[in-house]
Structure 1
Amino acid sequence: MKTRHLLASLAVASTVLAMPAFAADSAQDFVDKAAVGGKFEVDSSQIALGKAQDQRIKDFAQMMIRDHGAANTKLQAVAGEQKLKVPSALDAQHQGDLDKLKNAQGPIDPAYVDAQRKAHDEAVKLFEDYASGGDNAALKTFAQQTVGTLKMHQQAIEKIAAGQDSVTGATTPAVKTDNTPNAAALVPGANSFTEAQAKSRIENAGYSNVSKLTKDDQGIWRGQAAKGGENLNVGVDYQGNVVAASK
């Protein structure tokens, strides 16, 4: 009997000790990720305001600075009330992405758009998950109140990314002459796209079966793709322009 009571007492004690630690860890993890993500949104958007060329991207960046700045301030207040620490610096991954934008040569429009797509995919999932199953009531309410704005941002950046004309003017000529008023040409320049990003650009422009992508000495990704039942040679320049020609 004494043994049974002792085991029961230990079980209760372990539960009392473990539950607050679990709750604090989970809440702190949300604060860490939300704070770092929010800071990256603001910092990267400040860079975009100075270096992006497309006015729609600059307008989006301004919205990020306003909305995420407000959300960051709110998170700081809520976390402080819950005795949780808010990180003041970016983690290594986000700092690396930020440095790439800072040091990029030429327009950063495509790189910024890709960074925002990734960041908002991560943010929406983080906030949705915590809004539905968070272990801290105040932070859960914050997540519920914020996720709608994040989804609006996500839709806006996806619309920019999907419409090549919105981001890079790809539906208008990259190079225009009197003899070829509707011609399009790829523009040489330092290209920050990875192979996967170049493939994504081509697919977003309506092509399929993208293959054999290589970057030439002009900074242009070139490969093969299909569209309208035709196999084509296709390329992507540093601005994100997608141009194809019959093989």
Structure 2
Amino acid sequence: MNLKICGAVLALAAANASYAQSLNKGDQQILNDLAQANMAEVATGQLALQKSQSADVKKFAQQMVDDHTKGLQAVQDVAKAKNVTLPSEPDAKHKKMADHLNSLSGAAFDKAYLENAGVKDHKEAHAKVVGAQKQATDPQVKALAAQLQPTIDQHLQTVQGLTSSKQ
């Protein structure tokens, strides 16, 4: 009897493993990239809430924390449904940016935060979600990218306005 249960458990595990691999590497990479982008925005947004002296920058940072926490949850939900393991912390590139921002203060911090975590990262995120909608083969991954795009576009528009008003 135990051998039958053990065999059933192994068969189920094998089925889950093959299901996880049914999401191609490109779609897995899209989920990974979207998770990284959201984690980085949450982390730098939290940093900006602590370090910024500007009410406008703090308001934007709070929006980044709130919206990208929701975005990360959406990415995690799709990854979980597809049995894909996502990174649990920002990658080296995003950690380096956070370290750089952490070394700044005052107006220099605000300028660097808006330019890097704001404009630069949101332009990259926009390109990723547009590309994902074209390149993803899994319908849920495509739908996720389409779901995230309006928020990213709105963030980019907001931060471009903030950046021009700070110059």
State whether TM-score is above 0.5. yes
AA aligned to 1:72 is L
TM-score scaled by length of structure 1: 0.56
Give the 5 Å matches for 1:177-188.
none
Alpha-carbon distance in structure 2 between the residues aligned to 1:22 and 1:124: 26
Deviation at 1:31, TM superposition (A): 1.2
Q: State the partner residue of 2:86.
A: 86
Q: State the partner residue of 1:150.
A: 152
Q: State the partner residue of 1:182.
A: none
Structure 2: which 5+ residue stretches go unaligned?
1-19
Q: State the partner residue of 2:114.
A: 113
Q: State the partner residue of 2:9.
A: none
Deviation at 1:83, TM superposition (A): 1.3
CA deviations 1:64-118 (Å, max 9, x no partner) are 0110000101110111101111111211111100111122244410010011111
Deviation at 1:23, TM superposition (A): 5.3
AA aligned to 2:130 is E
Secondary structure at the aligned position of 1:86 is classed as: coil
Deviation at 1:135, TM superposition (A): 1.2
Q: State the partner residue of 1:140.
A: 142
Alpha-carbon distance in structure 2 between the residues aligned to 1:59 and 1:136: 36
Alignment RMSD: 1.7
Runs of 4+ that moved beyond 3 A: 20-23
Deviation at 1:133, TM superposition (A): 3.0
AA aligned to 2:138 is N
Alpha-carbon distance in structure 2 between the residues aligned to 1:42 and 1:155: 18
Structure whose residues are more often strand by fraction: 1
Alpha-carbon distance in structure 2 between the residues aligned to 1:22 and 1:129: 20
Q: State the partner residue of 1:217.
A: none
Aligned length: 146
Conserved in 1, the CA contact under 8 Å of 2:119 and 2:159? yes
Alpha-carbon distance in structure 2 between the residues aligned to 1:88 and 1:21: 20
Structure 1: which 5+ residue stretches go unaligned?
1-19, 171-247
Q: Which has the higher contact order (CA 8 A, sep 6+)?
A: 2
Conserved in 1, the CA contact under 8 Å of 2:27 and 2:137? yes
Alpha-carbon distance in structure 1 between the residues aligned to 2:54 and 2:36: 26
Structure whose residues are more often helix by fraction: 2
Deviation at 1:57, TM superposition (A): 0.8
AA aligned to 1:62 is Q
CA deviations 1:155-180 (Å, max 9, x no partner) are 000111122xxx3xx5xxxxxxxxxx
1:83–1:23 distance in 2 versus 1, CA, 3 Å: closer
TM-score scaled by length of structure 2: 0.82
Deviation at 1:21, TM superposition (A): 6.8
